[in-house]
Structure 1
């Protein structure tokens, strides 16, 4: 039994002692460790590490629900947390939406892991070397990135971290798990033109700073002296770094069970909303044989599992916690979190399935183009190759119309060849419409794991060839 599970069990004992046997309670204990090595002007300027253990209690007492949290894990701190949460529950309005507790259930292991099936232990492909990575190991990758840029100005970060967590409730559910991750994100710059490379992984050993630095430098050099293009609808190839933004917005706004229940989501279960080539899966357990990117349970103790959201263009599911599931007559999909009752449950490990393997068939062999995007660019008559999207904001959540900017390299392509770099562009585009039937002209044959800039989540994204992307402004306005 892990230290976290021991704390969770102690909390349940205290709840029964202080609130009585009729109280319903759930406890999540998380030990979060994050280490970050940041660099700018081609030199490391910050190395930091933090590790905290937090305890979160949610209590349902006499029809009322209250939550509390603490980082004090000693006997006095735990008792104080229970007492404070009981006091809060007694003055809280009744909670008619309380969905009850998760019943005891074993955790799942993806078929990609040895011994797949069900279990309740810790090991889900956890990489100890990543969890215990040193500043020196991260600095080696930063040095490799900087050296590979061959004199260009560079900036970015290399991070490692792990989570060890446990959950227990008064219904008898008790589970534990841990996960580790590493990520690198960096740019190279020359003459005001930027190139980017980023990668997420469950094993630090798989981060090659030299490969990433060289990729960023090639893009920066090729993006110099861009021309302007007028607004309009353009055929585009979005590289994986840009596609990750689509997946993030689909997760937060589109497949969010609370938004769906409130009719604020585009999702229509059973409808052919996407091109038949599109399949989107939430995969917190890592079904491709890699260590699991997420914990094997959510903050309500529901076992995590692979969830197909879109299969061959048909929307099949949205993500639920216990509250949104009860409201809609569904079952929790294991997406409960400390904020899901307020903000809704959303996925953080989406994978857009890659397309079939295909040959480039000639075309531009420029190293500017991501490998999986080459066959897509080779088939483009006239359009844009887009590296990255940023500063994206949702204008209409129901149709998921998003506005944002391109970043870190855009190029005009004619007859499968890069013609010239283009200055950054503003777009206003419905993401579901861009991937609707007939509008997806191709999908790259390889998915790239990319870090979520806001959380420990990650997205597996291939390149996408789309028939139309709505450009609404350029560098001049």
Structure 2
């Protein structure tokens, strides 16, 4: 980790830059410890440190940016000279209104340094997973990432903020020659993950997946478990909830503000402060994040903003800037779907005939303007009959409009899980959905 005072020292060097109207600097540090295992054997164990410093300079409405991993005095000076030189060849951006000022009374709660997780601790976690899989004559595959990050941002208008964050990602695929099962857990604290339970879940799905039957594609009632819902919502997030596509009117949400866009039981919001969420209390411009309601009881409410799009559209900055320049514009990094009241077991009991989907795989956008995506089921797809999991089925390819799918949600689980990695996360429940469209079948 790069501590607060050292981060501030680096950024203050950049703030002393002459011959520019405004300047911004950010220092992001990531330390990722990774243990990968396959065939029940650890085959990769490493720690990758990735620090980088970015600089954005403005002169006469010309905006230029550079980044560097060289934090020596000469390296920072070289980056400053490069960004100043770049300004000479850039046309003025008439829409740029300036870097953000610190809001009145800005206070960012001090964050705690996340614990370092040693390779030995990750190896002991893998050992628990392997023992469970071995008991069922299955091989264990998967990965454990433990990531610690720090972020500091300063600008010449008086902003300086610093924070630390940590997250552990653990996935397990239990396999033999004929079947596979998957389980994943993401927590801010490594110690909160029960690796034995994680392996038991993956193993149970693998054992249940043997000898899958082929069914015809079509529209089915489905129970999408949390990883599948998280994947679907992450695509919706990318396509719909930033101010860039809102301004371009290329998002469906832009045309539906104040109108119904999903079922009444759907509420989506972005909230960095939720206790389950990793991340920082400010964005990559150093501006404090605000909780933003995106969809409330099925009604489209709004999108997130950074300083640029807030000034363009006459809105308040919600603190959702990505590192600049960004082709995506502002983006929600802590998306949450409101939970329901029923446990997943109760949702299964409601299904007369339908399909349980553990997760999606190889999801792609077909038509961004219609939130149309396609992908496949994987690692645990089952037929449900008369409220019980009846038998495994071969994987299916789906083709769905996300908003239409969210308009057919019958019930939402009380359980929720984190989905995502690095800096972008979704807190997703399981969803009981009617008329989910499976477009084709597979041979496995």
TM-score range, shorter chain: over 0.9
Report the counterpart of residue 335 of structure 2 in structure 1: 350
Q: Is the 8 A contact 1:190 1:221 kept in 2?
A: no
- Which residue of the other structure, out of 349, 353, 361, is the alignment partner of 1:390? 361
Superposed CA RMSD: 1.7
In structure 2, C-alpha distance between the alignment counterparts of 1:31 and 1:476, rounded to whole Å: 44
SS of the aligned residue for 1:176 comes to strand
1:303–1:443 Cα change, 3 Å: same
- Which residue of the other structure, out of 248, 257, 273, is the alignment partner of 1:269? 257
In structure 2, C-alpha distance between the alignment counterparts of 1:147 and 1:261, rounded to whole Å: 53
Q: Is the 8 A contact 1:121 1:175 kept in 2?
A: no
Q: Is the 8 A contact 1:66 1:89 kept in 2?
A: yes
Structure 2 residues without counterparts, runs of 5 or longer: none
- Which residue of the other structure, out of 465, 470, 477, is the alignment partner of 2:432? 465
Q: Is the 8 A contact 1:256 1:265 kept in 2?
A: no
Give per-residue Cα distances to partners, 1:13-52, cap 9 Å, x unaligned.
1x2xx325xx111111112111111111111100111113
1:282–1:98 Cα change, 3 Å: same
Give per-residue Cα distances to partners, 1:332-365, cap 9 Å, x unaligned.
2211112564122222221111102x4xxxxxxx
Report the counterpart of residue 367 of structure 1 in structure 2: none
Give per-residue Cα distances to partners, 1:100-125, cap 9 Å, x unaligned.
11111379xxxxxxxxxx633532xx
SS of the aligned residue for 1:67 comes to strand
- Which residue of the other structure, out of 399, 415, 440, is the alignment partner of 1:446? 415
In structure 2, C-alpha distance between the alignment counterparts of 1:84 and 1:127, rounded to whole Å: 33
In structure 1, C-alpha distance between the alignment counterparts of 2:266 and 2:371, rounded to whole Å: 17
Q: CA deviation at 1:323?
A: 2.4
In structure 2, C-alpha distance between the alignment counterparts of 1:122 and 1:153, rounded to whole Å: 43
SS of the aligned residue for 1:296 comes to coil
1:80–1:121 Cα change, 3 Å: farther
Q: Does 1:300 align with 2:285?
A: yes
In structure 2, C-alpha distance between the alignment counterparts of 1:447 and 1:471, rounded to whole Å: 25
* Matched residues, number: 437
Q: Is the 8 A contact 2:394 2:443 kept in 1?
A: no
In structure 2, C-alpha distance between the alignment counterparts of 1:39 and 1:329, rounded to whole Å: 51
1:340–1:448 Cα change, 3 Å: farther
Structure 1 residues without counterparts, runs of 5 or longer: 108-117, 359-371
SS of the aligned residue for 2:200 comes to helix
Taking structure 2 as the reference length, the TM-score comes to 0.94
Q: Does 1:85 align with 2:73?
A: no
SS of the aligned residue for 1:351 comes to strand
Alignment of 1:299-338 (within 5 A): 299-338=284-323
Q: Does 1:170 align with 2:119?
A: no
Report the counterpart of residue 125 of structure 2 in structure 1: 141
Taking structure 1 as the reference length, the TM-score comes to 0.88
In structure 1, C-alpha distance between the alignment counterparts of 2:124 and 2:294, rounded to whole Å: 39
- Which residue of the other structure, out of 139, 162, 187, is the alignment partner of 1:153? 139
Q: Is the 8 A contact 1:248 1:348 kept in 2?
A: no
- Which residue of the other structure, out of 268, 288, 291, is the alignment partner of 1:280? 268
SS of the aligned residue for 1:44 comes to strand
In structure 2, C-alpha distance between the alignment counterparts of 1:36 and 1:261, rounded to whole Å: 39
Q: Is the 8 A contact 1:5 1:165 kept in 2?
A: no
Give per-residue Cα distances to partners, 1:387-437, cap 9 Å, x unaligned.
10111111111110101101111111122122211100001000110011x
In structure 2, C-alpha distance between the alignment counterparts of 1:228 and 1:346, rounded to whole Å: 40
Alignment of 1:20-99 (within 5 A): 20=20, 23-99=21-97
Give per-residue Cα distances to partners, 1:175-232, cap 9 Å, x unaligned.
1111111110110012332111101111010112111011000001101111111111
